[in-house]
A = this chain, B = another copy of it.
Amino acid sequence: MDLPASAFPSPVHDHQDCVRAALDAAEAKCEQRGARLTSLRRRVLELVWTSHEPVGAYALLDTLKSEGQAAAPPTVYRALDFLIEQGLVHRLERLNAFVGCPRPEASHSAQFLICTACGRAAELDDPAIGQAVRQGAEARGFSVGRQTIEVEGLCADCQGTLQKK
């Protein structure tokens, strides 16, 4: 077996593959769950997947408006709420921004790595982390619900770039 060298995609990856995979997975998951991935919701998901950088709600809104879509803040927030509900998008609390989930099939409580140099965010799905949090909390009698784990730092690519300078 091979561990991923990085949670971040290669700088030269074919991002269209990411987008296609995400949309296909979304279609499948919504159908399976009986949820309606309308064209608006689908379009918002696609826009979130424009890159691996988390995107703000108002940036999405501007794009929608520039495409002639009737849109106001609730338009975007409702679509995002739906996508989060379905596990297709995550919200990054530190950034007030949203990022596509690369593995919507698996239900998970994810952790996020946020590169402060390139702005990208990657999802870490490390059971050991969730487990450590759960143990620490429960040892103090705390019953764990939702976990928010966001780590700022430098991705492997940016460490290399900065060193070369």
Which A residues form the contact surface with B (CB < 8 A)?
Answer: 3-8, 93-94, 111, 113, 115-116, 122, 124, 126, 128-129, 131-133, 135-137, 139-156, 159
Q: Which residues of B contact A150 (CB under 8 A)?
A: 93, 147-148
Choose from B93, B128, B142, B153 the contact partner of A151 (Cβ within 8 Å): B142
Q: Which residues of B contact A151 (CB under 8 A)?
A: 133, 137, 142, 144-148
Is the pair B156, A136 in contact by a Cβ cutoff of 8 Å?
no
Contact (A159, B143) CB under 8 Å given A124-B137, A150-B93: yes
Is the pair B133, A129 in contact by a Cβ cutoff of 8 Å?
yes
Q: Which residues of B contact A142 (CB under 8 A)?
A: 6-8, 113, 115, 122, 151, 153-156
Choose from B3, B4, B141 the contact partner of A156 (Cβ within 8 Å): B141
The interface residues of chain A, by DSSP majority, are classed as mixed
Minimum distance in angstroms from A79 CB to a CB of chain B: 21
Minimum distance in angstroms from A21 CB to a CB of chain B: 20
Is the pair A143, B148 in contact by a Cβ cutoff of 8 Å?
no
Is the pair A140, B93 in contact by a Cβ cutoff of 8 Å?
no
Minimum distance in angstroms from A157 CB to a CB of chain B: 9
Once the chains are docked, how many angstroms separate the CA of A3 from the CA of B135?
Answer: 13
Choose from B6, B133, B148 the contact partner of A141 (Cβ within 8 Å): B6
Minimum distance in angstroms from A126 CB to a CB of chain B: 4
Q: Which residues of B contact A141 (CB under 8 A)?
A: 5-6, 155-156, 159
Is the pair A152, B145 in contact by a Cβ cutoff of 8 Å?
yes
Q: Which residues of B contact A139 (CB under 8 A)?
A: 3
Is the pair A154, B143 in contact by a Cβ cutoff of 8 Å?
yes
